Amino acid sequence: MTVRRSSRALALILLCASAAAQAAPDEAAFRRSIGLRRAWQDLTREVAWPAHWTPDGRRFSYRKTVAGGFVFETVDAKTLAKSPAFDTAKLAAALGNARHEAVDPMHLPFAEFDYAEDGKAIAFSLDETRWQCGIVVYRCEAAVDRSRPRGFGVVRDISVPADNSPKASPDGNWTAFVQGDNLVVRKTGDTAIVPISVDGSAGNFYDPETLRWSPNSRHIMIYRVRPGYQRRVLRVESSPRDQLQPKLQSQLYPKPGDAIDQERPVLFDLASRRQTVIDDALFPNAYELSAPRWRSDGRSVAFDYVRRGFGQARIVAVDAETGVAHAAVTEDAKTFVYADRRYAHEVGADGREIVWASERDGWNHLYLIDGRTGAVKNRITTGNWVVRDVIAVDDAKRQIVFAASGMNTGEDPYFRHVYRIDFDGRHPTALTPAKADHDVRFSPDGSLYVDTYSRVDLPTVSELHRSSDGALVATITRGDDSALRAAGFRRPEVFVAKARDGRTDIWGVVVRPHDYDPSKRYPVIENIYAGPHDSFVPKQYWPFGFHSGGDKAIGMQEQADLGFIVVQIDGMGTANRSKAFHDVAWKNLADSGFPDRIAWHRAMAAKDPSYDIGRVGIYGASAGGQSTLNALLFHGDFYKVGVAYAGCYDNRMDKISWNEQWLGWPVDASYAAASGVDHAAQLTGKLLMIVGDQDSNVDPASTMQVADALIRAGKDFELLAVPGGEHSVGRSTGPIDYVARRQFGFFVRELAGEAVPNWNGVK
């Protein structure tokens, strides 16, 4: 059959093809886009990070942006005089010597630090290691953790010896340790060892790392442990940098449903040698027991308990004389207790009262609990808003300082503000009036605080305030991004639309190209992270590593500048809203808030003609990688292209801690319901999966199992396995970021329908 086209139609087709070719990003555009981090990172001034106080409370320090990079500055709280926090050149040299690498003094690889050794040193985290550097004598050392490793906190690695350093009694008369799996003591200055227990064994041993003396030196509590299943994930390191042949890496990695360590608290009376195994009726089937903590009066010892499946959390208190346990406070949930957000403060020396955070009324609030009966004495906070964090509790004044969000009507419900309130819920006082997200740091005596606040459209402001009445003492820094905006940076836009229920507000941000033209149509890319453990749309000033979300932000701007509108959204199932909002994720990880996200996209497209709702792509990493794949599997009519990084695509393959928190225990059909492996045959869009073959967070076999399922289903997809890559896969050290270029090129080719540079032809 012959198809005839008119000369006019043919000319139109050729004209459109020519226009598309001219619009396609070239090599220079890719290089400019991926180079934005380096080109723009030093263009702001006076953008400050949160403050850290010296131990004596006389000064505070912070990092801020200056010409050429960052500096750390110290302010005298009384005189307001400013000076360098330390000699950055000397510290960079000391850190470089310790790490055997060059360190740029204007770009020190940490943003915040704590003071140590009475202000003579600073401590900070770098590459999951805690470092300490002297700032009088400049020398840096990595902290050495001598404790026995635990797989995600629930299975001890019994191939590694525990830290069995003798622990001295508070009165100095005894030391206690474990010998031959049993508890023993030794009188100070004596060589004779006194056995205290005889029932320990290799399969049911006393753990010296849980040993705790009572303040009066009369009692010891220690846990006897029946070890769990020693599951190992094996990874072949194909391309090690220090040898030719591959290496085999092994990691203790418990997964959902695995047998975990069973801990049993045991109480010993030193004088009588009486042993009391604590009745576990109040803490059966424990997922987590915290280390024992003695009340300061020595009459009782307490520990935190989370039931496996996360349906219950409580504080269990044990009488030191009788060994009888009681529930000091209990939290029950029909779905889950969010274990990482639990908060408890025991008032006084005996735990008679407890300040307790609870979602029992549908919002996270504070309650004053009777620590003897577990009953609520009174509510401290109330309302349709969320307590985000407890900053300080003053037992003497019976006051609490806390951060909350959602209290101010007409404002972004995720903005954190700080308040003070009495134990009885009276005299609530707002301390942070500015309409922004606040990070407040109080002096050690609580008399002053530094309020560091910002929004995505407001560079950071840092102020010193008086705590008694919140009065402003001085403005410390005021961020300026005029040079950054002159270079082409567009501040993100905030957009709000209704959720699937037509009532709840869903918040997101929009990033546009630096040369955005409202008369054009732009394909859309969504940056997704829908993990239930937090909310993720940045609320702070965020371009290039400023506070949380900075790394994701630069990726969004980099992609936008290749001709896209890039967005980020918090749908239902994420945290920091009501309990009902959060509960959408319970046993429902496939949801990822997609009905809310799609409604948000459609509302945005209805408002903005440049927003091409017919070309929507998505990308994400880790849980965001799982959501990206599920977008294409379960919502392929809407999401057309996806790039999924290091996804936990089948929650039965992933770490025990994160997955049992949201899908419960025992493992049930909800795990399979969210599986990208089980539903791989539903793929309709274009997919690129990227994984580091040395991922220690998510078993990289999860990615390969999706690949296997897609192949068996006859589906086409792309796969990039990065040799030596970790969970973040990492940005390349080459002349242009390889992994980012592959992601960006995939969207340009498959979503925008444009040609990409022939990188194999580039020298």
Domain end, chosen from 450, 479, 508, is at 479
Q: What is the pLDDT of residue 273?
A: 95
Residues 664 and 522 in one domain: yes
d(CA 502, CA 171): 64
Residues 602 and 691 in one domain: yes
Cα angle, residue 436 at apex, residues 435 and 437 outer, rounded to 5°: 145
Share of the chain above pLDDT 90, in %: 89
Asked if pLDDT for residue 10 goes beyond 50, the answer is no
d(CA 225, CA 207): 7
Residues 106 and 74 in one domain: yes
Residues 729 and 594 in one domain: yes
Amino acid letter, 249: Q
d(CA 656, CA 95): 35
Q: Which two tokens stand for residue 494?
A: 């905030």
d(CA 3, CA 241): 59
Tell me which of 551 and 62 has the higher pLDDT: 62
d(CA 374, CA 315): 9
- Mean pLDDT of the 735-759 span: 91
**Residues 693-718: tens digit of each pLDDT:** 999 999 999 999 999 999 999 999 99
Which helix H or strand E contains 626, and what residues bound it?
helix 623-634
**Residues 492-534: tens digit of each pLDDT:** 999 999 999 999 999 999 999 999 999 999 999 999 999 999 9
Helix 738-750 vs helix 27-34: crossing angle, to nearest 10 = 130
CATH number of residue 403's parent domain: 2.120.10.30
Domain end, chosen from 94, 126, 144, is at 144
Q: Is 118 helix (H, G, I), strand (E, B) or coil?
A: helix
Residues 557 and 573 in one domain: yes
Structural domains counted in the chain: 3
d(CA 504, CA 384): 13
Q: Which two tokens stand for residue 11?
A: 């000319």
Residue 728 banded pLDDT, cuts 50, 70, 90: confident
**Residues 206-236: tens digit of each pLDDT:** 999 999 999 999 999 999 999 999 999 999 9
| CB of 121 closer than 8 Å to CB of 113 | no
Whether 518 is covered by a domain: the verdict is yes
Asked if pLDDT for residue 20 goes beyond 70, the answer is no
Helices (H) and strands (E) in the chain, counts: 13, 46
Q: What is the pLDDT of residue 1?
A: 40
| CB of 627 closer than 8 Å to CB of 528 | yes
Cα angle, residue 187 at apex, residues 184 and 189 outer, rounded to 5°: 130
Q: What is the pLDDT of residue 737?
A: 85
Residues 623 and 611 in one domain: yes
Asked if pLDDT for residue 726 goes beyond 70, the answer is yes
d(CA 749, CA 761): 18
**Quick count: other Cβ atoms within 10 Å of Cβ 666?**
10
**Residues 465-491: tens digit of each pLDDT:** 999 999 999 999 999 999 999 998 889
Residues 462 and 535 in one domain: no
Helix 550-560 vs helix 27-34: crossing angle, to nearest 10 = 160
**Residues 110-124: tens digit of each pLDDT:** 999 999 999 999 999
d(CA 112, CA 269): 44
Residues 404 and 426 in one domain: yes
Residue 735 banded pLDDT, cuts 50, 70, 90: low
The residue behind tokens 């509510």 is 379
Asked if pLDDT for residue 734 goes beyond 60, the answer is no
Cα angle, residue 268 at apex, residues 263 and 269 outer, rounded to 5°: 165
Q: Is the dihedral of CA 724, 728, 729, 730 positive or negative?
A: negative
Smallest Cα–Cα separation from 134: which of 168, 176, 166, 97?
A: 97
Residue 553 banded pLDDT, cuts 50, 70, 90: low
Parallel, antiparallel, or unpaired: how do β-strands 718-722 and 686-692 relate? parallel
CA 115 and chain centroid, separation: 23
Q: What is the pLDDT of residue 21?
A: 39
| CB of 328 closer than 8 Å to CB of 309 | no
Domain end, chosen from 418, 451, 479, is at 479
Q: What is the pLDDT of residue 12?
A: 35
Whether 345 is covered by a domain: the verdict is no
Beta strand spans in 469-588 (E): 472-478, 493-498, 505-511, 522-527, 565-570
- Mean pLDDT of the 589-618 span: 98
Long-range contacts formed by 111-117: CB under 8 A, 24+ apart? 111/49, 111/63, 111/545, 112/49, 112/50, 112/52, 112/63, 113/52, 113/61, 113/72, 114/52, 115/52, 115/53, 115/54, 115/55
Cα dihedral: 700, 703, 705, 711 (round 10): -140
Residues 469 and 495 in one domain: no
Q: Is 187 helix (H, G, I), strand (E, B) or coil?
A: strand
Q: What are phi and psi of 703, to 5 degrees?
A: -65, -45
What pTM did the predictor assign? 0.94
Asked if pLDDT for residue 729 goes beyond 90, the answer is no
Cα angle, residue 745 at apex, residues 642 and 678 outer, rounded to 5°: 25
Residues 646 and 599 in one domain: yes
Asked if pLDDT for residue 546 goes beyond 50, the answer is no
Residue 752 banded pLDDT, cuts 50, 70, 90: very high
| CB of 166 closer than 8 Å to CB of 211 | no
Whether 290 is covered by a domain: the verdict is no
Residue 176 banded pLDDT, cuts 50, 70, 90: very high
Whether 16 is covered by a domain: the verdict is no
Q: What is the pLDDT of residue 579?
A: 98
CA 205 and chain centroid, separation: 33
Cα dihedral: 559, 560, 561, 563 (round 10): 100
Asked if pLDDT for residue 743 goes beyond 70, the answer is yes
Residue 542 banded pLDDT, cuts 50, 70, 90: confident
Q: What is the pLDDT of residue 36?
A: 84
Q: What is the pLDDT of residue 762?
A: 75
Asked if pLDDT for residue 730 goes beyond 70, the answer is no
Residues 76 and 139 in one domain: yes
Q: What is the pLDDT of residue 24?
A: 67
- Mean pLDDT of the 175-203 span: 97
CA 386 and chain centroid, separation: 19
Which domain does 416 fall in, by range? 380-479
Whether 288 is covered by a domain: the verdict is no
Q: What is the pLDDT of residue 552?
A: 58
Q: What is the pLDDT of residue 19?
A: 37
**Residues 631-681: tens digit of each pLDDT:** 999 999 999 999 999 999 999 999 999 999 999 999 999 999 999 999 999
**Quick count: other Cβ atoms within 10 Å of Cβ 377?**
15
- Going by C-beta distance under 8 Å and a sequence separation of 6 or more, which residues neighbour residue 269? 218, 219, 276
- Going by C-beta distance under 8 Å and a sequence separation of 6 or more, which residues neighbour residue 558? 33, 34, 36, 37, 740, 744
Indicate the average pLDDT of the chain. Answer: 94
Q: Is the dihedral of CA 93, 98, 104, 109 positive or negative?
A: negative
- Mean pLDDT of the 408-415 span: 96
d(CA 254, CA 643): 28
Q: What is the pLDDT of residue 554?
A: 66
Residue 40 banded pLDDT, cuts 50, 70, 90: confident
Long-range contacts formed by 401-404: CB under 8 A, 24+ apart? 401/431, 401/442, 401/446, 402/366, 403/438, 403/440
- Going by C-beta distance under 8 Å and a sequence separation of 6 or more, which residues neighbour residue 406? 384, 385, 386, 413, 414, 577
- Mean pLDDT of the 323-327 span: 98
Whether 300 is covered by a domain: the verdict is no
Q: What is the pLDDT of residue 128?
A: 85
Tell me which of 34 and 62 has the higher pLDDT: 62
Cβ-count burial 450-488 (b if 16+ within 10 Å, e if not): bbbbbbbebbbbbbbbebeebeeeeebbebebeebeeee
**Residues 345-375: tens digit of each pLDDT:** 999 999 999 999 999 999 999 999 999 999 9
Whether 417 is covered by a domain: the verdict is yes
Asked if pLDDT for residue 733 goes beyond 90, the answer is no
Q: Is 161 helix (H, G, I), strand (E, B) or coil?
A: coil
Q: What is the pLDDT of residue 39?
A: 85
Smallest Cα–Cα separation from 371: which of 330, 401, 318, 328?
A: 328
Residue 686 banded pLDDT, cuts 50, 70, 90: very high
d(CA 480, CA 649): 42
**DSSP string across 543-559:** TTSSSTTHHHHHHHHHH
Asked if pLDDT for residue 547 goes beyond 60, the answer is no
Whether 347 is covered by a domain: the verdict is no
Residues 37 and 87 in one domain: no
Parallel, antiparallel, or unpaired: how do β-strands 167-168 and 174-179 relate? antiparallel
CATH number of residue 557's parent domain: 3.40.50.1820
